C-alpha cells in the first residue's frame, strides 16, 4: 500500500470513529482494502473510459463525499449489479443494485446486530425475506414497502411465535399464536389483536371457541373442559351482560358447577401478545451519497436518524407577482395565524338535522355546483399573463429536441439546468410576434420534465392543445390559503398553480428523488407534475411569476358527488358551510368525513403509500384529495345503499352512464381503471355521536354504497420552514399540538399514514 492510499485509509477510519456504532468494525472491514477518493465530480462525471467504450458495469471502490464507502459494480454514475455500501453509522448493505437503488436480493445489517436478508425493490424491503432482530427474534415471510404484509412466521425473544397473515406490519387475517407455556390461539386477527372468530386452547386442554373483540371473548362462544363438559352463552367482561348455560358430561366434576366465566378473562390477561419491534431506521430511509449530492445552494445536513434535513429557508411573501426578496414579516405571520385561530373558535356542534350526525336522515345528492373558475378573457387583469404562459408552453414543448430517454444523467437535475428565452412583442428568430408585452421565459430542468411527460404518456400535441388551444384558461375565484393562484385548462385536464420561490427550491431539490419515485412505482398516488416555468416581465419592475403544471386528479366523465381534502389533523379541519349550501364542488375536510372507504383485495394489496418518500424529502402539509361518485341514485335524489335498489332503477342528472357496468366488464376499457382513478369500490357510512364530534373517524353503521373513487396526494412541496415552525409554536399554546396540521415531517408522515389506514380498509 503506497503512502497516498495509506493516507486515504486513515482519513476513512477517522471518519468512521466519529460514530460509536461503527468504531469497532472499521478496521476489520477495511484494514486491508486499497481505496481511491470519490469527490462530488466523481458522482456526476464518470471519467473511466472503459464505461463509455464497453457500456458494461465495471468495478470501483469509492470513499464518497459524505464519508460513506461503496465497493462493487458501477455504471452510468450509479451502482449497477453486485455491490457493498457502508454508512458511517455502521449500517451496511451487500447485494444487488439497479440504477443506484437496492433492487433484487441482498443483506442489510444494522449496528445493533439486527439483519435482513431477502428481496428488495427500489430501496424498500419488498418480497420474501428474513429479519433477525438484535435479541434473536426472527420474521420469515412476505414484505411490502418495509411492512410485513402477506404470510409470515414470527419467533419472539421470549419463546412465543406467530404463523399467519400480516397487514401493514401487524397480524391481520387468519393466524396461529403460541405462547411459551403451550397455550395457543387459532383464528382471526385485526390490527395486531385477536378479533373475530377463533379458538383459544390452554395447556390443560380446556378451550374457548367463539367470538373475540380486542383480545377478549365477546359475543357468542363455548368453553370446553377436557372431561367433555361445556358452557355455552353470550360472553362479556361486564358480569351483568354475561349469561349462558352449563352442560356437564357424565364424568364431569362437581367443581365445574361453581365455575365463574369471569375467570377466563383473568387467565387471558396473563397471555400477552408480544409487541412489534421498533426498527430505528429502514433501508429505504438511509441516505445514499449520489442522492444527497449538492443540488442547490442551501446547506443540508444528516439528522441523527440518517435522513436529509435542509437548511431553514425564509418563505416568500404570498403574492403572485414577486421579487427575489424572501424576507419574512413575523408580524404579518402572527396576524395571519390570529385570524385563522379566530375562525377555529367556531365549535363543531352536534346537529341532529345534519346526516353526518343522524343515521335516520338519508344521504342526498348535493346540488350541482357551477363550473369552477372565471374565464380569462380580454380585459381580465391576468389576460397578458395567460398569453405569456401559453406562448412559453408552446415554445418549450414544440421546440425540436432529440429523442427523450428515461435514463437521465445526473446533470439533467442540476439547479443550474434552465433555459431563458426572450419574447419581444415584434418576435425574434426563435419566437413569434405577439400582442402581449415583452417578457422573458424560463424553463427549469427541461430534459427532466420532457422525460416525465413521456413517462406519464402525455402526447405533446394534446398537451399543447389543452393549455395553448383556442379555449381560455379559467382562474379560480380566490387564491388558496398558501397565497397561490390556480388556473384550469378548458378541458379540465391540467391545473396550473403559481408558486413561491421557496416552493420552487424545494421541488428542484427533490426533483431527482421525485423522478425516481414515480418511475419506480407505477401506482404511486403522488400528484403528477408536467412542467416548471417562470415568466419575468422586462422593464423597471422586473416582476416574476413562477408556476407549475400538474394533472387534475378529479377530472372524470362521472359527476363527483363528494370531494374531501384529508390531512389526518383536526384543528380547523371542517368546512364553514351549512349542509344546505354544500354542492358538488365543495371541498370537505377531515371533520366532515362520514365514510370509510373499502377497496377490493386486489386493489388493497397494491395500496402502496408514498408517505415514506415525502418524509425522507422533509416535506409536510400534503393531503389526500378524494372524489366519490355514487353509482346508484333514487328517483327522489337519495343515494341508494347496497342491497336496496331504487324503485325506478334510473340514474338522475346523468351522473352515471347507463352502460356503467359494461364499462368495467369491457377489457378494452380496463386501461382507464387504476389505483386512484375510476376505481370501483364501496364506502361505509359513519356517524359522529355527541361524544365523538371531534374524532377523525366516526362510528361504522354497516350501511354501504357502491361508488367510483378518485384519489391522490397533493400539495407535496411545503417545507417545514420558519413560517410553519412559527405556526406550530403559536397554535400549540392554545391547542393540542397533535391536532395541528403544521408539525415536523416525520410526525406528519406517521399521523397521515395512521389516519389513511383507518379510513381505508379491505373489502371482505
Tens digits of residue pLDDT in 251-284: 665 555 677 888 888 888 888 888 877 777 888 7
Q: Which of 478, 479, 693, 696 is nearest to 566 (CA)?
A: 696
pLDDT at residue 507 in the model: 92
Q: Per-residue DSSP letters for 501-556?
A: HHHHHHHHHHHHHHHHHHHH-TT--BPPEEEEEEEEE-SSS--EEEEEEEE-TT--
pLDDT at residue 702 in the model: 87
Looking up residue 192, the CATH number of its domain turns out to be 2.60.450.20
Q: Which of 180, 205, 200, 204 is nearest to 265 (CA)?
A: 200
Looking up residue 517, the CATH number of its domain turns out to be 3.30.800.10
Q: Which of 88, 84, 115 is nearest to 102 (CA)?
A: 84
Sequence-ordered list of residues with C-beta below 8 angstroms from that of 541, at least 6 positions apart, any chain: none
Least confident of 306-310, 501-505, 589-593: 306-310
Q: Give a yes or no: residue 492 inside a domain.
A: yes
Q: What is the pLDDT of residues 2-13, one digit of tens each?
A: 554 455 445 445
Q: With bands split at pLDDT 50, 70 and 90, how would you rate the model's confidence at 54?
A: low
- The residue that leads in pLDDT, 659 or 132, is 132
Total number of residues shown for the chain: 764
pLDDT at residue 303 in the model: 32
| 149 and 255 within one domain | yes
Q: Give a yes or no: residue 710 inside a domain.
A: yes
| 463 and 532 within one domain | yes
- The residue that leads in pLDDT, 257 or 676, is 676
Least confident of 348-362, 377-391, 672-686: 348-362
Are the CB atoms for 418 and 454 separated by under 8 Å? no
**What pTM did the predictor assign?**
0.57
Select from 527, 552, 577 the last residue of a domain.
Answer: 552
Q: What is the dihedral of CA 185, 191, 192, 196, to 10 degrees?
A: -10
| 718 and 580 within one domain | yes
Q: Give a yes or no: residue 95 inside a domain.
A: yes
Q: With bands split at pLDDT 50, 70 and 90, how would you rate the model's confidence at 644?
A: low
φ/ψ bin of 706: left (φ > 0), alpha (ψ from -120 to 50), beta (otherwise)? beta
Q: Report the C-alpha gap between 82 and 91 in whole angstroms.
A: 17
Q: Mean pLDDT, the chain, as a whole number? A: 77
Q: What are phi and psi of 412, to 5 degrees?
A: -65, -20
| 577 and 476 within one domain | no
Are the CB atoms for 377 and 412 separated by under 8 Å? no
Least confident of 25-39, 394-408, 519-533, 550-564: 25-39
Q: With bands split at pLDDT 50, 70 and 90, how would you rate the model's confidence at 541?
A: low
Q: Give a yes or no: residue 290 inside a domain.
A: no
| 543 and 467 within one domain | yes
Q: Give a yes or no: residue 619 inside a domain.
A: yes
User: What is the DSSP code (8-state) at residue 404?
Assistant: P
pLDDT at residue 283 in the model: 84
- The residue that leads in pLDDT, 441 or 576, is 441
| 379 and 495 within one domain | yes
CA 369-371-372 angle, to 5 degrees, is: 100
CA 646-652-655 angle, to 5 degrees, is: 115
Q: With bands split at pLDDT 50, 70 and 90, how would you rate the model's confidence at 38?
A: very low
Q: With bands split at pLDDT 50, 70 and 90, how would you rate the model's confidence at 350?
A: low
Q: With bands split at pLDDT 50, 70 and 90, how would you rate the model's confidence at 399?
A: confident
Please check the confidence at residue 661 and state whether its pLDDT lies above 50.
Answer: no
Looking up residue 709, the CATH number of its domain turns out to be 3.30.810.10
pLDDT at residue 108 in the model: 93
The x, y and z cell numbers of residue 735, run together, are 391547542
| 542 and 678 within one domain | no
pLDDT at residue 225 in the model: 85
Select from 552, 585, 619 the last residue of a domain.
Answer: 552
Domain span at residue 122 reads 58-268
Average pLDDT of 133-158?
88
- The residue that leads in pLDDT, 355 or 700, is 700
| 506 and 586 within one domain | no
Q: What is the pLDDT of residues 151-171, one digit of tens each?
A: 999 999 888 999 999 877 888
Q: Report the C-alpha gap between 108 and 93 in whole angstroms.
A: 4
| 756 and 610 within one domain | yes
Select from 242, 268, 294 the last residue of a domain.
Answer: 268
Among 267-281, 311-325, 420-434, 680-694, which range has the highest average pLDDT? 420-434
Least confident of 60-64, 104-108, 322-326, 363-367: 322-326
**How many domains does the chain contain in total?**
3
pLDDT at residue 323 in the model: 44
pLDDT at residue 522 in the model: 80
| 451 and 374 within one domain | yes
pLDDT at residue 481 in the model: 59
Cα end-to-end span (Å), the chain: 65
Please check the confidence at residue 16 and state whether its pLDDT lies above 50.
Answer: no
Q: With bands split at pLDDT 50, 70 and 90, how would you rate the model's confidence at 285?
A: confident
Is residue 573 packed enough to be buried (19+ CB in 10 Å), middle (13-18) or exposed (0-12)? buried
Average pLDDT of 617-629?
91
| 260 and 135 within one domain | yes
Is residue 622 packed enough to be buried (19+ CB in 10 Å), middle (13-18) or exposed (0-12)? buried
Sequence-ordered list of residues with C-beta below 8 angstroms from that of 451, at least 6 positions apart, any chain: 404, 405, 406, 408, 412, 515
Q: Give a yes or no: residue 282 inside a domain.
A: no
Q: Give a yes or no: residue 353 inside a domain.
A: no
The H or E element that residue 173 is part of is: strand 170-178
pLDDT at residue 55 in the model: 67
Q: Report the C-alpha gap between 727 and 723 in whole angstroms.
A: 6
Q: Give a yes or no: residue 44 inside a domain.
A: no
Alpha helices in 199-288 (DSSP H): 262-269
Q: Report the C-alpha gap between 422 and 439 in whole angstroms.
A: 6
Q: With bands split at pLDDT 50, 70 and 90, how would you rate the model's confidence at 444?
A: very high
| 628 and 566 within one domain | yes
Please check the confidence at residue 295 and state whether its pLDDT lies above 50.
Answer: no
Average pLDDT of 23-37?
36
- The residue that leads in pLDDT, 332 or 499, is 499
Amino acid at each position: 500500500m503506497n503512502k497516498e492510499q495509506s493516507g486515504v485509509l486513515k482519513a476513512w477510519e477517522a471518519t468512521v470513529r466519529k460514530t460509536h456504532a461503527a468504531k469497532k468494525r472499521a478496521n476489520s472491514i477495511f484494514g486491508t482494502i486499497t481505496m481511491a477518493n470519490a469527490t462530488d465530480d466523481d458522482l456526476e462525471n464518470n471519467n473511466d473510459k472503459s464505461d463509455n467504450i464497453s457500456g458494461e458495469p465495471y468495478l470501483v471502490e469509492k470513499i464518497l463525499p459524505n464519508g460513506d464507502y461503496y465497493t462493487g459494480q458501477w455504471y452510468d454514475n450509479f451502482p449497477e449489479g453486485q455491490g457493498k455500501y457502508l454508512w458511517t453509522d455502521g449500517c451496511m448493505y451487500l447485494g444487488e443494485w439497479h440504477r443506484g437503488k437496492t433492487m433484487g436480493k441482498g443483506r442489510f445489517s444494522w449496528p445493533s446486530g439486527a439483519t435482513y436478508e431477502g428481496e428488495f425493490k427500489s430501496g424498500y424491503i419488498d418480497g420474501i425475506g428474513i429479519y433477525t432482530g438484535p435479541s434473536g427474534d426472527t420474521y420469515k415471510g412476505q414484505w411490502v414497502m418495509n411492512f410485513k404484509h402477506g404470510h409470515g412466521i414470527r419467533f419472539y425473544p421470549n419463546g412465543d411465535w406467530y404463523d399467519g397473515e400480516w397487514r401493514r406490519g401487524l397480524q391481520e387475517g387468519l393466524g396461529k399464536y403460541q405462547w411459551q407455556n403451550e397455550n395457543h390461539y387459532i383464528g382471526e386477527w385485526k390490527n395486531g389483536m385477536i378479533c373475530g372468530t377463533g379458538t383459544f386452547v390452554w395447556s390443560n386442554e380446556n378451550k374457548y371457541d367463539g367470538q373475540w373483540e380486542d383480545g377478549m371473548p365477546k359475543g357468542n362462544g363455548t368453553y370446553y373442559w377436557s372431561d367433555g363438559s361445556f358452557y355455552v352463552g353470550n360472553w362479556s367482561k361486564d358480569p351483568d351482560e354475561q349469561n349462558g348455560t352449563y352442560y356437564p358430561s357424565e364424568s364431569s366434576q362437581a367443581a365445574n358447577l361453581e365455575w365463574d366465566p369471569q375467570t377466563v378473562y383473568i387467565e387471558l390477561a396473563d397471555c400477552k401478545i408480544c409487541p412489534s419491534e421498533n426498527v430505528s431506521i429502514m433501508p429505504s430511509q438511509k441516505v445514499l451519497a449520489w442522492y444527497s449530492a449538492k443540488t442547490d445552494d442551501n446547506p443540508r445536513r444528516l439528522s441523527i436518524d440518517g435522513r436529509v434535513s435542509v437548511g431553514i429557508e425564509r418563505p416568500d411573501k404570498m403574492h403572485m407577482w414577486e421579487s427575489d426578496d424572501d424576507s419574512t414579516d413575523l408580524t404579518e405571520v402572527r396576524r395571519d395565524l390570529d385570524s385563522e385561530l379566530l375562525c377555529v373558535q367556531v365549535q363543531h356542534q352536534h346537529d341532529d338535522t345534519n346526516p353526518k350526525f343522524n343515521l335516520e336522515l338519508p344521504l342526498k345528492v348535493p346540488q350541482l355546483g357551477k363550473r369552477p373558475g372565471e374565464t380569462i378573457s380580454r380585459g381580465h387583469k391576468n389576460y397578458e399573463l395567460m398569453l405569456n404562459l401559453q406562448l412559453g408552453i408552446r415554445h418549450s414543448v414544440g421546440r425540436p429536441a432529440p429523442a427523450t430517454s428515461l435514463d437521465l444523467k445526473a446533470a439533467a437535475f442540476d439547479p443550474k439546468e434552465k433555459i431563458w428565452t426572450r419574447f419581444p412583442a415584434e418576435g425574434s428568430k426563435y419566437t413569434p410576434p405577439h400582442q402581449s408585452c415583452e417578457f422573458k421565459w424560463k424553463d427549469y430542468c427541461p430534459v427532466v420534465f420532457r422525460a416525465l411527460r413521456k413517462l406519464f404518456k402525455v402526447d405533446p400535441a394534446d398537451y399543447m392543445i389543452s393549455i395553448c388551444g383556442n379555449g381560455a384558461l379559467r382562474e379560480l375565484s380566490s387564491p388558496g390559503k398558501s397565497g397561490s393562484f390556480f388556473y384550469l385548462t378548458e378541458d379540465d385536464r391540467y391545473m396550473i398553480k403559481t408558486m413561491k420561490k421557496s416552493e420552487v427550491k424545494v421541488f428542484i431539490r427533490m426533483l431527482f428523488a421525485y423522478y425516481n419515485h414515480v418511475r419506480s412505482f407505477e401506482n404511486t398516488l403522488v400528484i403528477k407534475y408536467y412542467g416548471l416555468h417562470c415568466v419575468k416581465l422586462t422593464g423597471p419592475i422586473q416582476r416574476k411569476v413562477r408556476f407549475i403544471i400538474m394533472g387534475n386528479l378529479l377530472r372524470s366523465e362521472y359527476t363527483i358527488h363528494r370531494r374531501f381534502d384529508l390531512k389526518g389533523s383536526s384543528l380547523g379541519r371542517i368546512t364553514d358551510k351549512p349542509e344546505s349550501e354544500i354542492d358538488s364542488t365543495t371541498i370537505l375536510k377531515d371533520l366532515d368525513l362520514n365514510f370509510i372507504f373499502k377497496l377490493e383485495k386486489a386493489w388493497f394489496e397494491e395500496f402502496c403509500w408514498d408517505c415514506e418518500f415525502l418524509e425522507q424529502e422533509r416535506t409536510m402539509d400534503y393531503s389526500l384529495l378524494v372524489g366519490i361518485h355514487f353509482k346508484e341514485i333514487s328517483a327522489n335524489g337519495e343515494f341508494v345503499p347496497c342491497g336496496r335498489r331504487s324503485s325506478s332503477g334510473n340514474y338522475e342528472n346523468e351522473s352515471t352512464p347507463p352502460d356503467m357496468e359494461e364499462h368495467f366488464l369491457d377489457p378494452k376499457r380496463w386501461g382507464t381503471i387504476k389505483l386512484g382513478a375510476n376505481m370501483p369500490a364501496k364506502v361505509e357510512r359513519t356517524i359522529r355521536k355527541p361524544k365523538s364530534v371531534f374524532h377523525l373517524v366516526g362510528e361504522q353503521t354497516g350501511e354501504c354504497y357502491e361508488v367510483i373513487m378518485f384519489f391522490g396526494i397533493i400539495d407535496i412541496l411545503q417545507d417545514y420552514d420558519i413560517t410553519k415552525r412559527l405556526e406550530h409554536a403559536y397554535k400549540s399554546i392554545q391547542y393540542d399540538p397533535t391536532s395541528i396540521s403544521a408539525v415536523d415531517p416525520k410526525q406528519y408522515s406517521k399521523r397521515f399514514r395512521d389516519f389513511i389506514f383507518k379510513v381505508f380498509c379491505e373489502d371482505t
